[in-house]
Structure 1
Amino acid sequence: MKTYTVHLVKTSKFTAFKSLWSPPNPIDIRGMLNIECMRGMTLGAPLFSFQRILLQQLVVFIAWENSEAIDDFLENHSFGKLLSEGWYVRLALVRQWGSCYPYQNLDTEQQSYSSQDPIVALTLARMSLFQLPRFLHWGRPAEKLVRDDQTAPLAIAAIRLPKTIATFSVWKSLDDMLNMVHGKNAVDAPKRHADAMKERRRKNFYDEFTTLRFVPISEHGTWNGKHFFSI
């Protein structure tokens, strides 16, 4: 079964820069299909601040042929050993919208889960640089909505210059995530995310865009001293 992992790790600025400049090549690693190595970002932070782009935080998304390949990578590869020092979650893909190379027409798993089960969402996009001002105008209010949602115990953004951006969020339940997406929460301006998506459909911010929905398989380590699943 194809498996996906999201890794969060804090390291030195030099190691983070090196990892972004020269990430592992999937061709050289048994069972690795694709990898996205990005810097962490704080959702909703001011654009020009040290809180916006976290120079020592790596966010890594990897697609795998199977779980056995993950174990081998984390135990025996130098970059895998670095990631094993942080937090990560193994995931099964249950739904995809859109398309973003090389994540196109991905096979989904027939995992049984209810609307009350925890869910994980990841968006991945290749930015249209000419649309950046519009994206920032509409995107930051939506970021703050997700950041402040009490039913999302973990929500972060990530970037790899010049064009790759992502968001990663853990939700207590599918219903909680859908309430945020459709603007049904009892908060100020609950439709900020829905309005941003409406504007994206009117005139796209991105050259490519996909949203992936996962169910968690297993959680490893802690992030800022916390666990996010009861698995």
Structure 2
Amino acid sequence: MRQAAFDRPVLRAVDGLRFWRLLGTGRGASMTLGADLRRWALFAVWRHPDDLDAFLRRSPIAARWRDEAVELWQVRLAPLSSRGRWGGVDPFAGAVPPAVPEGEEPEGPVAVLTRATIRLTRLAAFYRAVPEVDRTLHAQEGRLASVGIGEWPVARQATFSLWRDGAAATAFAYRTAAHADVIRRVRARDWYAEELFARFVPFGSEGTWDGRDPLR
């Protein structure tokens, strides 16, 4: 927790790091109130893969992860599609997505990031809806792994998930009753002050997440 504060000025000075967020994680598969204080994440957008390689070789932050973490997993992601803002910024502006025929889902695994700033007047309604979505997500066919993440406790929340393919991710988002109902209420009652939804093609994963690499 100390390093979550001390690493920020170091990250601000990293060459080629265009956008980043240090994130805590929840105990559930999606956005839950419980926190796992031992597990942390870095979401980062890089100017070029060489900048990431240099960070992993030279940064004291990356060295500490390797030396001190009980478990470490990382994955490189190519943005496939995105909409919305994160802190008023489009993190993927200018990114060239992998070629996928129009109207078709990408073959192979996809990663999904959903992130929102929840309006204070909608917090209670939001968290009442979370347990059923979390249970559905745990049981969803095609889910490889998922975790709730957040910048701030309670109000700035996100979910990162990995799926067998794009069709599985779409089936959960729009065809499961619990999640589809939440989407409807989010739109009808204006739960979010800001939101971001992005899909990625994952590549180059290494390490383990809960004892395994979910992409292997």
TM-score (norm 1): 0.80
> What is the alpha-carbon distance in structure 2 between the residues aligned to residue 57 and residue 107 of structure 1?
31
Q: Deviations over 1:172-192 (max 9, x none)?
A: 000011111111xxxxxx311
**Residue equivalent to 1:169:** 161
Matched to 1:110, the amino acid is P
Using a 3 Å threshold, how does the CA distance of structure 1 residues 194 and 74 change in structure 2: closer, same or farther? same
Percent of aligned pairs sharing the same letter:
20
Using a 3 Å threshold, how does the CA distance of structure 1 residues 223 and 47 change in structure 2: closer, same or farther? closer
Aligned-pair CA distance for 1:151? 1.1
User: Are the counterparts in 2 of residues 34 and 102 from structure 1 also a CA contact under 8 Å?
Assistant: no
Matched to 1:210, the amino acid is L
Helix, strand or coil: the match of 2:117? strand
Aligned-pair CA distance for 1:124? 1.8
User: Are the counterparts in 2 of residues 44 and 141 from structure 1 also a CA contact under 8 Å?
Assistant: no
User: Are the counterparts in 2 of residues 123 and 209 from structure 1 also a CA contact under 8 Å?
Assistant: yes
**Residue equivalent to 1:112:** 99
Aligned-pair CA distance for 1:45? 8.7
**Equivalent of 1:53 in 32, 35, 46:** 35
User: Are the counterparts in 2 of residues 74 and 81 from structure 1 also a CA contact under 8 Å?
Assistant: yes
For residues 11-30 of structure 1, the aligned pairs below 5 Å read: 17-25=1-9, 26-30=11-15
Gaps of 5+ in 1: 1-16, 184-189
Using a 3 Å threshold, how does the CA distance of structure 1 residues 201 and 117 change in structure 2: closer, same or farther? same
Helix, strand or coil: the match of 2:202? strand
Q: How many residues align?
A: 205
> What is the alpha-carbon distance in structure 1 between the residues aligned to residue 43 and residue 6 of structure 2?
15
Aligned-pair CA distance for 1:78? 1.7
Matched to 1:227, the amino acid is D
> What is the alpha-carbon distance in structure 1 between the residues aligned to residue 193 and residue 32 of structure 2?
22
- The reply to whether residue 154 of structure 1 matches residue 140 of structure 2 is no
> What is the alpha-carbon distance in structure 1 between the residues aligned to residue 165 and residue 24 of structure 2?
27
User: Are the counterparts in 2 of residues 91 and 215 from structure 1 also a CA contact under 8 Å?
Assistant: yes
Matched to 2:212, the amino acid is K
> What is the alpha-carbon distance in structure 2 between the residues aligned to residue 110 and residue 23 of structure 1?
30
> What is the alpha-carbon distance in structure 2 between the residues aligned to residue 177 and residue 115 of structure 1?
11
TM-score (norm 2): 0.85
CA RMSD, aligned part only?
2.3
Higher helix share: 2
